[in-house]
Amino acid sequence: MKAFATIGLGSLGSISFQHAVTTSGADRPYGIGADAWLRLDDRLGLVITSTGGAAATGYFMVKHDNVWQRLNIEAKSPTPAQGA
């Protein structure tokens, strides 16, 4: 049952992702080519910088105040549990 749910949810995710990619339009950050831009939402997109081998690399962009900005992910170390 878990395998069926995983396959079903994965399929739904890929359908919505494909829809987002095909309806991306021309609204993309300045200097980013259409072949490198995957618009996921009105305010979220993905820039693919390399597709060599089995993995791709890239970064996210967010639209804030009508301007696309690169999203930098902050990695914070987990805080120890209190009382431990």
Tell me if 37 is assigned to some domain: yes
Give exposure, 55-64, as e/b (b: 16+ Cβ within 10 Å).
eeeeeebebe
The count of structural domains within the chain is 1
pTM of the model: 0.58
Tell me if 54 is assigned to some domain: yes
Tell me if 41 is assigned to some domain: yes
Angle subtended at Cα 36 by Cα 11 and Cα 63, rounded to the nearest 5 degrees? 85
Q: How does pLDDT run along the chain (84 residues), one tens digit per residue?
A: 455 444 444 444 444 444 444 444 579 999 999 999 999 999 999 999 999 888 999 999 999 999 999 999 898 877 777 665
Tell me if 24 is assigned to some domain: yes
Tell me if 19 is assigned to some domain: yes
For residue 20, give the nearest of 53, 46, 48, 1 by alpha carbon: 46
Tell me if 75 is assigned to some domain: no
> What is the separation, in whole angstroms, between the first and last Cα of the chain?
38
Tell me if 80 is assigned to some domain: no
Contact 23, 13 (CB under 8 A): no
Range of the domain at 43: 2-70
